[in-house]
Amino acid sequence: MEKLYSILNPFDSWWNDEEEEKNLEARKALQDFYKEMKKLRPSKKYEKNIVHFSYVPYLVKIKKALDEKRYMRACNEIISLMHYEPFLQGRIYYNVLKLLEKEVVENFV
């Protein structure tokens, strides 16, 4: 997980207020993050949360940031998701992979 954090941390900005070049570097970091994430496998052990779907608002925020081409904000939201939720649970892992694949990998390869 540390490697995943290290890919996104340089671009962790909710404000997304740096020049466009840094924002495009954040998009590349999201692509690299996706590649590294695919190397991991989801946890087989279910970690019970207070609410099973508590990660969904994070997905919505990530999708919104990607739609707005605010890649630094997307990095920030993914870092928050990784911190507050059991990120390697299948229900989260596969949804994040699918979202990044559709929004960052397929659209920019």
Separation CA 44–CA 31 (nearest Å): 25
Number of structural domains (the chain) is 1
H/E segment holding residue 64: helix 56-67
Kindly give, in sequence order, each residue whose CB lies less than 8 Å from that of residue 106, ignoring residues fewer than 6 positions away. Answer: none
pLDDT of residue 104: 87
* 109 residues of the chain, pLDDT tens digit each: 899 999 999 999 999 999 999 999 999 999 999 999 999 999 887 776 667 778 999 999 999 999 999 999 999 999 999 999 999 999 999 999 999 999 888 766 5
pLDDT of residue 56: 94
- Contact of 85 with 58, CB cutoff 8 Å: yes
Instruction: Name the β-bridge partners of 89.
Output: 43
Look up tokens 């390869």; give the residue: 109
**Among 61, 92, 70, 97, residue whose Cα is nearest residue 13:** 70
What residue numbers bound the domain in which 82 lies? 2-108
